[in-house]
Amino acid sequence: MELSSVPTDAELKLLATRVAAAMLHYHLSLSCAESCTGGWIAKTLTDLPGSSAWFEAGVVSYSNQAKVSLLGVRRETLERTGAVSEDTALEMVSGALDRLNVDVAVAVTGIAGPTGGTPQKPVGTVWVGWQRRDGAARAKLFHFPGGRDAVRRQTVAAALEGVLETLTD
């Protein structure tokens, strides 16, 4: 699916509908662990009627303490690589998969802005992780352009597209 540079609500809904169809087709359950999107992935998915048939839970772990206590991210990981890192995304998605007892999980951590960026991790830096119960966790780095809303919308779209890829790999 070719999205505009910043996905509209209609484009996000279409992606969510595709995820729903795939989850139902494969008889799988899904959860998400979100930081920079603040629950937007869960909202997009649960806007669909019938989502309770395949969507289990969403965790908004905005602070480092929440990442540790809710998802089992190791403090050492956060100290060594930071909250916006491949290691943190991988630990978030594995924690969501295990703690929420689902078949598939997605996790996002990033800097949506307008503040918080650094030269090493500028605003728009986002890590997204995915994992199936029967597979290894994987994560991908994105550098999204635009302001806070644009970064968050692009993150939701990337997360959902990655769920679809995870189901068909």
At residue 136, the 3 state secondary structure works out as coil
Q: Which residue has the tokens 């290894």?
A: 136
In this predicted structure, what is the pLDDT of residue 2? 47
End-to-end C-alpha distance for the chain, whole angstroms: 17
pLDDT in tens, 99-108: 999 999 999 9
pLDDT in tens, 36-90: 999 999 999 999 999 999 999 999 999 999 999 999 999 999 999 999 999 999 9
In this predicted structure, what is the pLDDT of residue 4? 54
Cα gap 137→150, rounded to integer Å:
26
Cα gap 143→71, rounded to integer Å:
24
Mean pLDDT of the chain: 96
* CA-based nearest residue to 17, from 131, 164, 152, 130: 164
**CATH superfamily of the 9-168 domain:** CinA-like (3.90.950.20)
In this predicted structure, what is the pLDDT of residue 1? 44
In this predicted structure, what is the pLDDT of residue 74? 98
In this predicted structure, what is the pLDDT of residue 169? 79
Return the domain boundaries, the chain: 9-168
Cα gap 49→8, rounded to integer Å:
19
